[in-house]
A = this chain, B = another copy of it.
Amino acid sequence: MNGEFVQEAVARPPLVLGVDPRPELHGQNPLEHIRSYTLELLEALGSKICAVKFQAAFFEAIGPQGFALMHELIAGARVLSVPVIVDAKRGDIGSTAEAYARAYLGAYPGSALTVNPYLGEDALEPFFSAANRNGGAVFVVLKTSNPGSGLFQDLPTSSAKLVYQVIAEYLAQQAEKYRVGEWSRIAAVVGATYPQQVHSLRALMPHSLFLLPGLGVQGGEIMLGGGLLNSASRSLYYPGGKPDLDGAIRQAQTYLEALKEKA
């Protein structure tokens, strides 16, 4: 994809394939099998998904070869014209944030990266600028799908707003500066396990795509709505708990039918 992430993503079915590879499920040559299985999945599911999301942690846990494999698979997805989200949740200051932005948004024009907002505005800005220069998008971690996400994200501030709501208001302002038509390059990660927060954040951030992880194993349900991108990792990449191409195709179909029923 050398196009515009935002325009590509919204023109496709709102389902994201999350790739969280576990080498122990891939036989004797796990890296080779992860490579071939993922590329086969991308070929089979390409028209049924809006993006593929690579979870950097699982590649990094394999070591340098795993990290190189992630880059190979990003390149493979682009050849297959599937928009890419690198789920790396990076965040650092100034020139270090620029380095992270270069590593992903710069290296892969038209792709998206997840980032962490805790370090503040001058830590976010290099990511926003890089997305803008490269036709990309930035998904800022806002309200995460885990049970313990409230500890700091839901802290009430002195204005009675919660921390994640204050961050959302800041992001909504920034989102206006980075519009691509109806939608913005500034997007957010909001757990599908917190559907009420998805709705209330939509009101605060009307022009931001929301990546909704937590579908399936974590208990989140599929949601239909403008800019809502439902992300399924284990339940779609390992249906039945293991690599299974036919099972994944069926699972994607099930998700798409569930979306149709909500329409």
Interface residues of A (CB under 8 A from B): 20, 55, 57-58, 60-61, 63-64, 67-68, 71, 89-97, 99-100, 102-103, 107, 116-123, 141, 144-153, 155-158, 160, 163, 166-167, 170
Judging by beta carbons under 8 Å apart, are B61 and A100 in contact? yes
CA–CA, A93 and B93, complex, Å: 22
Interface core residue of A68, A90, A99, A144 (most chain B CB under 10 Å): A99
Smallest CB–CB gap between A113 and chain B, Å? Answer: 11
Known: A120-B148, A122-B147. 20 other contacts (CB 8 A): A55-B99, A57-B90, A57-B96, A60-B103, A61-B100, A89-B91, A89-B116, A91-B116, A93-B144, A93-B149, A116-B118, A116-B119, A119-B149, A120-B149, A121-B151, A123-B144, A123-B146, A152-B163, A156-B157, A157-B158
CA–CA, A122 and B170, complex, Å: 26
A158 to chain B: which residues have CB within 8 Å? 155-158, 160
Residue in contact with A57 in the complex, picked from B97, B120, B144, CB distance below 8 Å = B97
CA–CA, A163 and B156, complex, Å: 10
Residue ID in chain B nearest A158 by CB atoms? B156
A91 to chain B: which residues have CB within 8 Å? 89, 91, 116
